[in-house]
Every structure is written in structure tokens, then in C-alpha cells.
Structure 1
Amino acid sequence: MAEFAVAHARGPASSVVLAPGSTPAAPRFAECGNRPRAVVYDIDETVLLNTGANYDSAVRGDPPFDSARWARWEQGGAAKVEAVPGVVAAIAAIRAAGLTVVFNSNRDRSAAVPTAAALASVGIAGAVPGETLYLKGDVAPGSAKDPRRAAIDARYCVIAMAGDNLGDFADAFNDRALTPSARRTLAQSPTLDALWGNGWFLIPNALYGAWEGAGVDDLFPVDKRWSPEP
């Protein structure tokens, strides 16, 4: 991602944030114009590994997600995180090219200060709430990221985004009416082929995510199943 962002730091470009009213099935993107360029990162398991919280979950037998416990982690876990390998150098290179790095996370806005501290603890300083750090509740209620993406893209021209969940690119991917296979089909639409690895950068998260509620039939295509003979 860093190489892509640095290569596109200058010259004509368009945003990679879906324009208002467009969808992954029929995407539209606005030209950058004179807006300063930016790169948007999700935080959890994209920039920061929540090592302390994952340890806590492991020793407790991997129980269901506990929002109250996670809130305590957001407030008090700044010193127990690690950087995703390579991300510190990548962000440094992106900033050195004159691009702004903005973080768009579903951590709660009440945890803005400890979230910035967690980033700084791994060598990524300078996340400013409301400017380069956008959290749940900052722009609109709830966990939808489209309103925050729109607010960021109004201030900057976003030329690249990275995340560990399809919802880090468009809320349409999180439509609860879509089955996991339907989401996969939408993400693999020919209209989006040119974006993956070319403005949209998806980092697999094996720890948690929307896939947790999927069954065997959702996750494993029939023609890709294998089992040895007895």
C-alpha cells in the first residue's frame, strides 16, 4: 500500500471513497481537484494488533464478544498493543511523501485520547481527534463508516484505504440482508476488480470479523473442499 500511495502522491487522481449515492455494484468516484491527498487506515488488526485483549480472550476460552470488556480495553490497553508488521515504516513513508494519514476506527469517541496513545506507543504519533483520527460517534451515531469516510473525503482526497473488513471500504458490504457468499460476490464484482490492491487494500483478519457468524457452507465452496480417504 505504501508504494502505491507514494507513487500516486502527485498528479491527477480520483478519490477511492464511493461518491454519495453510488454503491459497490455501481460505483462512482470524485476527482481530487485541489484537495490535499490522504490515505485512510482502519486501526484494529490493520495498524494495531490488540495483543493484550486477544490474550485475555484466549485465557478465558474465547468467549463471545463482550462490549463492556472491550470498552475497558479501549480505555486502558494502550501499552498492551503491537504494530502490525511493516505498518510503522509504511506510514512513515506515506507521510514523507507529503500525504496525510487518517485513521477511521470503530473504537468509541470516548476513547480518543487512549487510542491516540496506543498508536503513539508503537511509533505512530500525530493522530489528532477530529482531524486525522475519526471514531464511532464523531460524525453520526452508530458504527457505520460511510459518514466518516464522506467527512474525511470532503477535507482530503482519499487515494488509498486499508482495512481488515469489507466494511472498511463501504458500508454496503455490511448489509445484514446479504449472506457471506453474497458479500463475497459483491466484493468480487467486475466493477471493483481494478480497486483491490489499487486503492483498496484488504488485510485478512483471522481473529474476528463478520465471518464468525458464517457456517461451513458459507466459508468453504463445494469445489474447494478436501478430505483424505479413510
Structure 2
Amino acid sequence: MIRAALASAAALALSACATTPLAVAPTPSAVADAPDTMQWLYGSGEAAGASIQAWRSLADYAVARSRQRSVPFSVAMGLDGTIAEPASCMTGDRAKPLAVVFDVDETVLLNMGYEYWSAATGASYSSETWKRWEESGSSYVKPVPGAVTGLRRLREAGVTPVFNTNRQYSAEGAVRAIAAAGLGDAVHGETLFLRGDDGTKSGGKDARRAIISERYCVIALAGDNLGDFADVFNDDALPASERRELAARGDLAQLWGNGWFVLPNPVYGDSLKGTVDEVFPEGTRWTPETAPSGAPAIMNEGN
């Protein structure tokens, strides 16, 4: 009853003020500065250079691997919650076809239209708007710089690009977006795998990597998030500093540029976490008032 009364009152008020336009909530101007991270990733020459550099290194590596005459081995990758060692790609007396597995968003294509809408309106990500983007945004994407040439080089060398994405609402939309970016064809269930294709709702990719590795000899992985290489990196219990240490130390450090290829993305993803104290551990927290008591004498000159 209360809701009905309020609705009736609102209708009367609107009819009495029919010539008065309804107020519209202000939104950020499209001519205002975009967020720093978007300026860098979507607008800077530095981001283009970093992406082209990564793609050239990836293609050089994969083409060289395709020309080896030895028994093919996969690259180390996340499988079943751990990082599996390289494995033989022979099935009986035959080798599996070679493949490189790619993330999609901000790895092979840039979601320019969605990020424009976000920056211009101040709207934040939601599953509802992302679903609409997956279904209808394919004509508003651009290739990541270097991706078109890189994928062409792989295909010419007989290496199959396989896409492993956390898109989940429209396989048809993903196929259209990849094609619209000039990246060639993708076939859902063969060279394109979406969230849910492993029978779970998880955003982890290990299970999908297992499906792909049953069919292909995966010689390289590429993505903009460490979860594109192994789910263990995105464990919610793993602090930012330990996640960084895991990626940068030991055997895993040797994989970067040598089977694992990372693309820049400062805009969103699991890389963006950590408090000030977590990002800057004890021993790095300088202030102008910090006494240089423990510094070498040469660093104290002029004080």
C-alpha cells in the first residue's frame, strides 16, 4: 500500500511538472583526463612498444621450437593446482600438434569500447554490462600491438593459437571479437575455451589447460595475468609480496621469455592488490626525516 501511494504521488508530481526536464546525474566528461592506467595501456607508445616486444619474443621462441627435430615437450604450466613439469608430447609414435595458449582480453585484443564507456561515464565493472559487452562489443575492439603479426607467424610455422579466456557469456561474441581484431578464426571447443567449458564455474584456468594439453603440445603460454600461466599464483591466501616472489625466483624466473610471455595490463586484474605496507616492506619506507645512520659514508656526503 505504501509503495502504491508513493507511486501515485510521484505520478501526480510528474504530471504537474510535465514541462520540467528530469534531472540527470552528472557524469565525468569525455574530454577529462582518462585514468593514468588507461592512458598508459590504451593510449601510450610505451605500452605499444612493450606489447610488440613481447609478441616478437613469443613468435621468435615458438617458431624456433617448431623447427626443432627432437621429441617435442610441453612448457611447464599450471595443472591441477600445481605447476606441472614439461611433459612429452608424444601419443604413441605420433606427436601432438604444436600450440601456444593465449588469454584473450588485453592479451590478444584490447577492450577499447568497454573501457571508453567506463572512463567516460565513471561506471565500474558489473557482470551485467560485461555480458552485454561480450554479446555486442566486437566492433569496438582493437588488436594488442604485435598480435596480428605474431599470430600470423605462428600459423605460418604450423603452430596453432589456442585461446583460453574467462569470457563466459557468449562464445559467438568471443569468436566475433577475435576475428574483428584481425586475429583470425577461433572455434569454440577446439581453439577457443571459455569459463565453464571445464564443467565448473571457476575462473581458474588449470582445468581448461588440462583439456587443451590433452589435444595439443603446448609450447608456450601468454597472458596479462599470472593466472594465465598457473592458478597457484591467484590463490586468495597468497599475499602480494609472496605472489611476486613466487613469480620472480627459482625455476619459474627462468620461464619468462622462455615459454611464458606476459603482456602489460595495469588497468585491472589480480596483479592490482596490496596495501602500501604490503607493497613497500620494511626497509624500503624512506621519508625525508629518515636518518641515514646505516648507510655507507659515501652516501652521506653533503649532509
| TM-score for the superposition, normalised by structure 2 | 0.69
Q: Deviations over 1:37-67 (max 9, x none)?
A: 101110000011000110111122253x311
- Determine whether 1:76 maps to 2:133: no
Distance 1:115 1:94 in 2: 20
Q: Show the counterpart of 2:260.
A: 200
Distance 2:64 2:77 in 1: 21
Distance 1:97 1:20 in 2: 27
Q: Show the counterpart of 1:180.
A: 240
2:181 alignment partner AA? V
Which of 45, 60, 63 is residue 6 of structure 1 equivalent to? 63
Q: In the TM superposition, what are the counterparts of 1:119-198 in structure 2 within 5 Å? A: 119-141=178-200, 142-198=202-258
Q: Show the counterpart of 1:60.
A: 121
Number of aligned residue pairs: 225
2:185 alignment partner AA? G
**8 A contact 2:171–2:188 mirrored in 1:** yes
Cα deviation for residue 126 of structure 1 reads: 1.4
**8 A contact 1:47–1:87 mirrored in 2:** yes
Distance 1:174 1:22 in 2: 10
**8 A contact 1:51–1:81 mirrored in 2:** yes
2:88 alignment partner AA? E
Q: In the TM superposition, what are the counterparts of 1:9-20 in structure 2 within 5 Å? A: 9-11=66-68, 12=70, 13-18=72-77, 20=79
Q: Show the counterpart of 1:93.
A: 153
Give the unaligned 5+ runs of structure 1: none
1:189 alignment partner AA? R
Distance 1:86 1:126 in 2: 17
Using the TM superposition, name which of 145-154 and 207-216 deviates more. 207-216
Q: Show the counterpart of 2:43.
A: none
**8 A contact 2:78–2:209 mirrored in 1:** no
Local SS of the residue matching 2:60 = helix
Q: Show the counterpart of 1:116.
A: 175
C-alpha distance 224-88 of structure 1, shift in aligned 2 (>3 A)? farther
Which of 11, 25, 28 is residue 85 of structure 2 equivalent to? 28
Distance 1:208 1:22 in 2: 23
C-alpha distance 69-4 of structure 1, shift in aligned 2 (>3 A)? same
C-alpha distance 83-21 of structure 1, shift in aligned 2 (>3 A)? closer
Using the TM superposition, name which of 185-194 and 47-56 deviates more. 185-194
| TM-score for the superposition, normalised by structure 1 | 0.90
2:276 alignment partner AA? V
Q: Deviations over 1:171-212 (max 9, x none)?
A: 011111101111111112312122111000111211111133
Local SS of the residue matching 1:126 = coil
Q: Show the counterpart of 2:272.
A: 212
C-alpha distance 6-227 of structure 1, shift in aligned 2 (>3 A)? farther
**8 A contact 1:17–1:150 mirrored in 2:** no
Local SS of the residue matching 2:154 = helix
Distance 1:4 1:121 in 2: 26
Local SS of the residue matching 1:2 = helix
Using the TM superposition, name which of 220-229 and 39-48 deviates more. 220-229
Give the unaligned 5+ runs of structure 2: 1-57, 290-303
Distance 2:85 2:103 in 1: 22
- Determine whether 1:42 maps to 2:99: no
Cα deviation for residue 136 of structure 1 reads: 0.5
Q: Show the counterpart of 2:54.
A: none
